[in-house]
Homo-oligomer: A and B are copies of this chain.
Amino acid sequence: MMNSNSDDEEPKMSRLLRLAQKFNCFYLNGLVKGDCRPFVVDGQQVGLISQNVLEQLLKYPEVFCIKDAEQGKQNIVELNPAFRDYTERSQQVDRVLKEFRAEGVFVALKGWRNECYDVKSTTESLLKMDRSATCLFGVRNYGVEINGYVRHPTKGLCIWLQQRSDTKQTWPGKWDNMVSGGLSVGYGIKETAIKEAAEEASIPPNLIKNLVSAGCVSFFFESERGLFPNTEFVFDLELPEDFRPDNSDGEVQNFKLLPALECLERCFAPDFKTTSCPVLLDFMIRHGIITPENEVNFTQIVELLHVPLQSLYTYRTSKANGLNNGNGSIKNGRV
């Protein structure tokens, strides 16, 4: 059933694999083309810059140093290393972003949030920027998602979906997982999950205490807004049959409880938020709905739910490497 195919040229490619390729369109296509430059802050790569963003950054040479390839070096975009600290970096970038926003050069900035994301190296926060702008710089994005589910006596495993409000800045009106949210500056992971569960679905304390951490998914999506190297921390929450989520922050217009296989069908529909599919597929894999018996591309799909984002952002300048030869290095490969 899940492996039905109308495409004779790809007899082994299921709908699920096509979906996994769709939410990894940048990982599988754009990344391989090699048109993007590492975005380097304080000597460490924190993002990727596409050609159309590069053209705009060229107008601010006092903020963004565009370095073309020399011997042993790669093309990069570096945030001016003269900026001293988190605060100065954040202010300088914020000033440029506000000009871009006023000029209307990027679709992404039309959804300005007034909510900041931290841009981190492996060891520290380097600057913050408005949540709407991280996709322009290909900065890694972290969020939380909660799978709300019910073990129904007759319908089996059922999953709560939410329909996003028509007024949301991203993916308005689309179907989505029960609860999700980005990790904003100053909030912990489980803390964010509990906060969002209260705001988006009015989950009371006696139910949220059953929240179980269940891993994370990583994928690399691209849209007209920009690049999305996303990692979602996943939580499962079993709910009693008689509980109904209720939105309290105006960001949700509807909730619906559906049997697992009906949920899966929703994933393939155009009114489902593409970047929420990975968490739903991961849930269905962990709970025995999608199995190696019913899905021919099972191992490939599991790999595409955990792409090695860790190994994509490996450019280091000599400063960060502690070397003296002045050469940046790229570790093309893994970790």
Contacts and interface: CB of A to CB of B under 8 A. Distances in A.
A305 to B, nearest CB: 7
Contacts of A126: none
A298 B190 contact: no
A299 interface: yes
A149 interface: no
A302 B216 contact: yes
B28 A299 contact: no
Interface stretch (A41-49, A91-99, A127-135, A284-292): A284-292
Number of copies: 2
Interface residues of A, number: 42
A309 interface: yes
Given A12-B122, A31-B333, A293-B189, A214 B285 contact: yes
Interface in A19-45: 27-28, 31-32
A303 B308 contact: yes
Nearest to A32: B333
Given A12-B122, A286-B286, A334-B31, A213 B291 contact: yes
A266 interface: no
Contacts of A123: 12
A286 B189 contact: no
Contact of A216 (B31, B213, B215, B299): B299
Given A306-B303, A309-B303, A292 B216 contact: yes
A286 B333 contact: no
B308 A307 contact: yes
A254 interface: no
A300 interface: yes
A333 to B, nearest CB: 5
A231 interface: yes
B212 A287 contact: yes
A82 interface: no
15 contacts: A32-B331, A32-B334, A188-B293, A190-B292, A213-B293, A214-B285, A214-B288, A215-B285, A216-B292, A299-B310, A303-B306, A303-B307, A306-B306, A307-B308, A307-B334
